[in-house]
Amino acid sequence: MKPKISLITFGVRDLPRMVAFYRDGLGFPTHNYAEGDDMVMFRLEGTWLGLFPREELAKDATVSTEGSGFGGVALAHNAPSKEGVDRAFAEAVAAGATAVKQPQDVFWGGYSGYFADPEGNLWEVAFNPFTDLT
């Protein structure tokens, strides 16, 4: 298998709210999306982000929709500087994200913070002084 992630899909409870957060709040560009569609895809750099109704995604994967708490997954957005982290973090919070951990110097030598989107999906915003992931 090629070592790459093509698409990350969130199973969401409130699709219009989540579209508004990612498209209108964070400025992620949609791809072939029309209001009322039950799937939206955002073209990102190097991968895609999809939103799909939670019940339907669980049904497609043949798993239960039950589940709560930390799911063991966090997406990451890397910025080229600490100031870039602060700007991206503030933009997400202004768009409706919940601040989980304010950006700060961290144990591994970088700088990062965490926010949750309107349905609780975790995002880390980080500056890595050792590897350019931007």
Distance of alpha carbon 86 from alpha carbon 113, whole angstroms: 9
**Could you tell me the mean pLDDT of each successive run of 10 residues in the chain, 134 residues long?**
88 96 97 94 93 89 78 90 98 97 95 95 95 90
Q: What is the pTM of this model?
A: 0.88
pLDDT the model gives residue 86: 98
User: 76 with 113: CB under 8 angstroms?
Assistant: no
pLDDT the model gives residue 127: 96
* CA distances for 14 relative to 21, 87, 100, 119, angstroms: 11, 27, 21, 8
pLDDT the model gives residue 101: 95
pLDDT the model gives residue 48: 93
Name the DSSP class of 29.
Answer: P
Name the DSSP class of 97.
Answer: P
Tokens of 1: 């298998």
**87 sits in which H/E element:** helix 82-94
Instruction: Cite the beta strand spans of the chain per DSSP E.
Output: 7-12, 40-43, 48-53, 74-78, 98-105, 111-116, 122-127
Distance of alpha carbon 103 from alpha carbon 110, whole angstroms: 10
pLDDT the model gives residue 82: 98
